[in-house]
C-alpha cells in the first residue's frame, strides 16, 4: 500500500477523466499570445511589404516597452512613482556612446559597464530616495534625473546638447547588430526574457513583500520584513531594466543624446504604464505599443481631413495625443489590459 497517497478532490474521483472540466483559456492569455506572435512576425511582414521602416518603428516600441516594464515593477507593484527613470536609459545609452568614442566597440564591455554604472547609481540614488515617500519621492527622483541631464549636456567631448552619432553598433561577435533584423530579434528576445523574469519575480516571496509594502508598509515591518531592502532591490532591478533599454535605444538610433534623460521621457513611460494598466506585466507593453503608434499616426498628418483642419492637427498633434490619453484614463481606469481583466470577471 502506498504510504504517501495523493489527495484528490472527491468530485475528481467520481468524475471520469474525459468529462472533467478543462481550464478555460482566458481572454488575456489569448491576447498576450497574439500580441507576441504578431511582434515575432513583424520582420517577415516588413520584408513582404517592402516597408523596412516598420521594422525600426516596432523595434523602438519594444525598447520603450522594455523600459516601461522595468519602471512598472516599482510603480505598479511597489507603489513608488519615479519621474527619474529616464536617467537610467541615459546611462545605458552613454555607456555605449562614450566607450565607442574611445574605440571600444565590444558589446559585452558595453553591457558590463552600463550595468555596473547603473547598479552603483541606482543603489546610491535609491538609498536617498527611499528615505521618503509620496510627492517627496517623486520630486527627488526628478531632481536626480535633471542633474544627470545637465551633466550630459556638459559633456562637450561627446556632443553636449547636440548629442553624439555612433560610428557603429555594439559588437557582440556572432550577433551582428548591424543587421536590423538581428537587432529586432535581440530586442524581442530581451523583452520576452524580461517578461518571464519579472513574472517569476513578482510571483515569488520577494514580489509578495514588494506588493505588501505598497499596501501597508508599516504592517509589513511589524511582521518582520525588511521593507527598505525589498524596496531598494526592486528599485535597482527596475533601474537595470531601463539601463538595458537605453543600450538598445542607442544601438537602434546609432545616436546618444541628453534628451534621453529628460523628465518628459520618464513622464511618457508612466503614461505608457497607466495607459496599458499598472500592476500587470503585459499592460506596460501594450501601453507602449499603443502610445507610440498613436504618436506616429498623429504626427504623420495623413488623415484625409479638410486641409485647414488637417494642418491644424498636424501642428498641434501633441495636444491631440494628450487628449487621447486623458479620455482613455477617464473611461478605462484600469488601463487597456485591465479592461480585458474586468471583461473576463463580468463574463464569469
In a domain, 302, yes or no: no
Quick one: which of 110, 113, 115, 112 has its CA closest to 96?
A: 110
* DSSP one-letter string for 267-294: HHHHHHHHHH-TT-SHHHHHHHHHHHHH
Q: Determine contact, residues 335/278, Cβ cutoff 8 Å.
A: yes
- Residue 19 is predicted with a pLDDT of 46
Domain count, the chain: 1
Q: How confident is the model at residue 148 (pLDDT cuts 50, 70, 90)?
A: very high
- Residue 308 is predicted with a pLDDT of 64
Rounded to the nearest integer, the mean pLDDT of the chain is 85
Top-confidence residue, 53 or 241: 241
In a domain, 328, yes or no: no
| Residue range 265-316, pLDDT digits in tens | 999 999 999 888 887 889 899 999 999 988 888 777 656 666 566 666 667 6
Cell numbers given for 145: 534625473
Cell numbers given for 330: 477617464
Q: How confident is the model at residue 201 (pLDDT cuts 50, 70, 90)?
A: very high
> Under 8 Å CB-to-CB from 18, ≥6 apart: which residues?
none
Top-confidence residue, 300 or 65: 65
pLDDT over 70 at 132, yes or no: yes
DSSP state of 2: -
- Residue 2 is predicted with a pLDDT of 44
Rounded Cα distance between 130 and 128, Å, is: 6
pLDDT over 60 at 7, yes or no: no
Q: Range with the lowest mean pLDDT among 102-116, 210-224, 317-331?
A: 317-331
| Residue range 78-96, pLDDT digits in tens | 989 999 999 999 999 999 9
In a domain, 127, yes or no: yes
Q: How confident is the model at residue 232 (pLDDT cuts 50, 70, 90)?
A: very high
pLDDT over 90 at 4, yes or no: no
CA angle 156, 158, 161 (to 5 degrees): 60
In a domain, 248, yes or no: yes
Environment class of 201 (CB within 10 Å of its CB; exposed 0-12, middle 13-18, buried 19+):
middle
- Residue 116 is predicted with a pLDDT of 97
Environment class of 163 (CB within 10 Å of its CB; exposed 0-12, middle 13-18, buried 19+):
middle
Query: What range does the domain containing 79 cover?
Result: 53-261
- Residue 346 is predicted with a pLDDT of 64
In a domain, 28, yes or no: no
In a domain, 310, yes or no: no
Average pLDDT for 172-177 = 88
Q: Determine contact, residues 73/199, Cβ cutoff 8 Å.
A: no
In a domain, 78, yes or no: yes
Q: How confident is the model at residue 15 (pLDDT cuts 50, 70, 90)?
A: very low
- Residue 6 is predicted with a pLDDT of 41
**pTM attached to this predicted model:** 0.87
Share of the chain above pLDDT 90, in %: 53
> Under 8 Å CB-to-CB from 314, ≥6 apart: which residues?
299, 301
φ/ψ of residue 175, rounded to 5: -85, 100
Amino acid at each position: 500500500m502506498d504510504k504517501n497517497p495523493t489527495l484528490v478532490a472527491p468530485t475528481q474521483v467520481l468524475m471520469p477523466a474525459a468529462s472533467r472540466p478543462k481550464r478555460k483559456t482566458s481572454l488575456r492569455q489569448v491576447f498576450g499570445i497574439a500580441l507576441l506572435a504578431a511582434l515575432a512576425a513583424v520582420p517577415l511582414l516588413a520584408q513582404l511589404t517592402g516597408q523596412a521602416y516598420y521594422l525600426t518603428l516596432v523595434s523602438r516600441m519594444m525598447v520603450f516597452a522594455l523600459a516601461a516594464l522595468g519602471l512598472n515593477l516599482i510603480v505598479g507593484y511597489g507603489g513608488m512613482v519615479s519621474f527619474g527613470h529616464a536617467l537610467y536609459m541615459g546611462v545605458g545609452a552613454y555607456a555605449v556612446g562614450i566607450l565607442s568614442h574611445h574605440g571600444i566597440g565590444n558589446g559585452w564591455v558595453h553591457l558590463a559597464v552600463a550595468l555596473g554604472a547603473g547598479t552603483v547609481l541606482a543603489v546610491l540614488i535609491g538609498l536617498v530616495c527611499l528615505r521618503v515617500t509620496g510627492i517627496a519621492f517623486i520630486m527627488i527622483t526628478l531632481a536626480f534625473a535633471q542633474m544627470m541631464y545637465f551633466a550630459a549636456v556638459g559633456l562637450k567631448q561627446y556632443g553636449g546638447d547636440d548629442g553624439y552619432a555612433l560610428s557603429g553598433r555594439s559588437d557582440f561577435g556572432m550577433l551582428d547588430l548591424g543587421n536590423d533584423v538581428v537587432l529586432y530579434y535581440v530586442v524581442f528576445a530581451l523583452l520576452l526574457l524580461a517578461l518571464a523574469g519579472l513574472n517569476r519575480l513578482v510571483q515569488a516571496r520577494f514580489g509578495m513583500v514588494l506588493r505588501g509594502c505598497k499596501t501597508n508598509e508599516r504592517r509589513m515591518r511589524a511582521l518582520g520584513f525588511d521593507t527598505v531592502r525589498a524596496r531598494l532591490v526592486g528599485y535597482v532591478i527596475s533601474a537595470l531594466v531601463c539601463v538595458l533599454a537605453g543600450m538598445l535605444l542607442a544601438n537602434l538610433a546609432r545616436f546618444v543624446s541628453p534628451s534621453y534623460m529628460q523628465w518628459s521621457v520618464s513622464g511618457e513611460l508612466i503614461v505608457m504604464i497607466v495607459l496599458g494598466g499598472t500592476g500587470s506585466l503585459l499592460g506596460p507593453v501594450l501601453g507602449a505599443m499603443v502610445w507610440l503608434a498613436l504618436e506616429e499616426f498623429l504626427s504623420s498628418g495623413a488623415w484625409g481631413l479638410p486641409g485647414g483642419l488637417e494642418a491644424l492637427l498636424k501642428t498641434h498633434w501633441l495636444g491631440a495625443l494628450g487628449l487621447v490619453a486623458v479620455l482613455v484614463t477617464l473611461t478605462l481606469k484600469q488601463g487597456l489590459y485591465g479592461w480585458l481583466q474586468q471583461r473576463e470577471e463580468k463574463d464569469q
